[in-house]
Amino acid sequence: MIKNNLVLHAKRELQLAGMFDKDADYNGALAPHIIKVVETFSKGKHSGASAMISIGILEKLLRFQTLTPITNNPKEWMKVGWKMAGISLWQNKRDPSIFSKDGGKTWYNVDGK
């Protein structure tokens, strides 16, 4: 296990929050997984700037958000609903909250974004 300030900080904060405890969410199983992610991130030996950039990108990816705009490329879309009242329903493969009724030419986000 890597022992550095970030890992030590994460471990201390998770312990203080009770996240290793058996009565924590998921019986304390989340904290060790979070520590593994922090350890892996620490191996990057980031500067302050590269850490912030990486965290921003990682957060978007973990939230299933895209890094570039959605396009009308047919490879980005999959048919999820068959024709009802003459309309097919398509879902974006890159962002599961985006749907289309015309194969990706126009779309809408069910999350209201």
Q: How far is CA 62 from CA 4, 56, 57, 89, in A?
A: 24, 10, 9, 26
Instruction: Give the separation between CA 92 and CA 95, rounded to whole angstroms.
Output: 5
**Which of 78, 69, 81 is closest to 96 using CA atoms?**
78
Q: What is the pLDDT of residues 15-73, one digit of tens each?
A: 999 999 999 999 999 999 999 999 999 999 888 899 999 999 999 999 889 999 999 99
Say if residues 106 and 76 touch (Cβ distance below 8 Å).
Answer: no
**For 75-103, what is the mean pLDDT?**
89
pLDDT above 50 (res 2): no
Maximum Cα–Cα distance across the chain: 61
DSSP 68: S
Q: How far is CA 66 from CA 59, 71, 86, in A?
A: 11, 11, 30
